[in-house]
Structure 1
Amino acid sequence: MKKTITALAACGTALLVATTPAQAAAPKNPVQALKGKLTSGHGVRFTETTTVSGGGKAKLQSRKGAFQFNAKGIAASDISTKSPASEDERTISVGKVSYTSGGMWTDRLPSGKTWFRTNGLLGGAGGFYGQVINPAEPKTLATLIKKGRLSGSTLTGRITFKELEKVSPWFGASIPLRMNNDTKVSYTLTLTPAGLVNRVKSSYAATGVLANRELAGKTVTIDSRFTGWGAKVSIKAPDPETVETKVSE
């Protein structure tokens, strides 16, 4: 009888453990998690959508692409942009040099040339309305954590364009021209249990980039999803024979 009671008690304890909801573990240190993925020949892929709201909501553009890493962060990128207002665009960046095909350069390149080379504009023209928060930069991520509030797997906060430019090479190269450095960006980063960022949502006053009367009182929102952290990524510059450094006016 005593053995039977002991067995029933053990079964009850096992059942209680099995039916108790598991508590979500807090994500690991995001900066350390990111640094663990910064290996040459590897990277991360992303997709994003940019919308403008205020008196209605409209889609400005969508992008998809990949970042290739080195030990310090981003070594190269390959980004395709689709916009209702312009031709499709693709920009490949290696180091501080970018090559853009399509978009605003579609009819401005000489015959036989399909890529325009320049220093800067790492995200192409699409970078002006692309994601301003790049979670693949350790210094940027550390700043966002310092300025923000981490609750569970969600990090929220606000940072100005000027503050972003100080820590983020990506931001400075993507939007080199802007109307107001004091523009505040509200951001929400979602982390995996491993501490890696799988979603970034940011928003700011539309007139922070362009002082367009039609954009007054409107807000730009960019929603990005990141997948495949640490996967193999290989990005190379286009064939030199297809590259041009001057375009027609």
Structure 2
Amino acid sequence: MRRFPALLSALIVGPAAMLAVPSAAEAAVPDVVRAVRERLATGASVQFTQYGSVEINSRNKYTNHTARVFRYNPMQEGTLVLGRGGVVAASITRRVDFNRHLLPLAKERAAEGDPVSRSLLAQTRPHRWINTKGRFYTTGRLWTADLPQGKTWARRGNRGAGATAFGDHVINIFELGTLKALIADADEKKFNLPNPAGKTADLKRTGYYRGSLTFAELYALSPTFRQVAGKRPDASYANKVVSWTLYFDAKGLPFKFGSGFSTQEKEKYYTQGGATTDIVSWGPPRNIAPPRPNQVGVVRAPADGLPEFDDLAELAQVKAPTTEPAWESS
């Protein structure tokens, strides 16, 4: 199994310690693909929360041989509506968080003209995302600042709801072909693991699959990632490894999913990032309405010429600095 830095491993692995040791008489493993397929067939809705962690080492600063780390946390919460083809609609609130010790560095980098830092600071205010019938709408500072007066929603073009929902992950577990392939190629699986903290009978016994694949392999496998990436991964990140862990209950329904990547062990100036999604509840079919047409303006790119920088594929392509960073003294 590939090794990952502690920060990213904690994010992806999540509650593994909670799962403890399987019993000697391990029960048959539930069929996760079948459980998800049944929910897709009923058009179920999903309430979820998501927490991520991203570090861009090339934007660190160094004072007296101590690093000031460029790290932030993308966070989401919202509702997904499922259909036979996967995620068919999404209503999501997303924002980027810098803790108070790390925010000053992001502001310094932005003041120096770094477009990524400027984009991320704009995203510290909540942004709403709605995707319905393949149309992607956003309201929030990064996208609406240049809209005409009275327009509060930006139409970002056509994009699958799954690509909207899983940009911070880049692995869509509601894409049945992708889910089936991941499980078939998993490096590790456990089931019938006691979970005393489980709030329902189905969560008293849980299990997980764990594995990894490269961005190039994910591109070949997943229509969602092909939309997120926009084009085939180039040499800068095609062979970078994405690690994932999927947790499921006694009936095979997923309740937590984590994924991420890191180049820390291979590159001097590394990037790493990932996210963990908690499925808060499964619900009946529901409708997600688009914004009213008179509120919507069409946009081609974020305001002020800034990069989107709101998905893992963009992060994976961050390049190392062209010059060595200077050591500062206080």
Which of the five TM-score ranges fits, normalised by the shorter chain? 0.7 to 0.9
Q: Aligned equivalents of 1:44 and 1:115: distance in 2?
A: 24
Alignment pair present for 1:201 and 2:272 = no
Distance apart, 1:31 and its partner CA: 0.6
TM-score, normalised relative to structure 1 = 0.76
Q: Aligned equivalents of 2:24 and 2:281: distance in 1?
A: 26
| Aligned match of 2:173 | 135
Q: Among the aligned pairs, what percent are the same residue? A: 27
Distance apart, 1:142 and its partner CA: 0.5
Q: Aligned equivalents of 2:214 and 2:152: distance in 1?
A: 36
Q: Aligned equivalents of 1:196 and 1:30: distance in 2?
A: 6
| Aligned match of 2:199 | none
Alignment pair present for 1:171 and 2:184 = no
Correspondence for 2:282 among 209, 229, 233: 229
| Aligned match of 2:143 | 105
Q: Aligned equivalents of 2:141 and 2:184: distance in 1?
A: 37
Q: Aligned equivalents of 1:169 and 1:94: distance in 2?
A: 17
Alignment deviations for residues 29-85 of structure 1 (CA, whole Å, 9 cap, x no partner): 111100111146522121111112577684321111221112221111111101132
| Aligned match of 1:83 | 96
Alignment pair present for 1:160 and 2:214 = yes
Letter in 2 for 1:186: S
Alignment pair present for 1:219 and 2:257 = no
Q: Which runs of 5+ in 2 are unaligned?
A: 1-22, 58-66, 98-120, 192-206, 305-330
CA 1:246–1:187: 2 relative to 1, 3 Å: closer
Q: Does the CA-based 8 Å contact 1:41-1:234 persist in structure 2? A: no
Q: Aligned equivalents of 2:152 and 2:285: distance in 1?
A: 27
Alignment pair present for 1:239 and 2:292 = yes
Q: 1:195 aligns to what SS in structure 2? A: coil
Letter in 2 for 1:119: N
Letter in 1 for 2:255: N
Q: Aligned equivalents of 2:238 and 2:152: distance in 1?
A: 34
Q: 2:126 aligns to what SS in structure 1? A: strand
CA 1:81–1:232: 2 relative to 1, 3 Å: same
Aligned residues: 222
Correspondence for 1:64 among 77, 82, 95: 77
Alignment pair present for 1:95 and 2:97 = no
Q: Which has the larger radius of gyration?
A: 1
Q: 1:140 aligns to what SS in structure 2? A: helix
Greater strand proportion: 1
Q: Aligned equivalents of 2:220 and 2:290: distance in 1?
A: 27
| Aligned match of 2:239 | 182
Q: 2:274 aligns to what SS in structure 1? A: strand
CA 1:160–1:201: 2 relative to 1, 3 Å: same
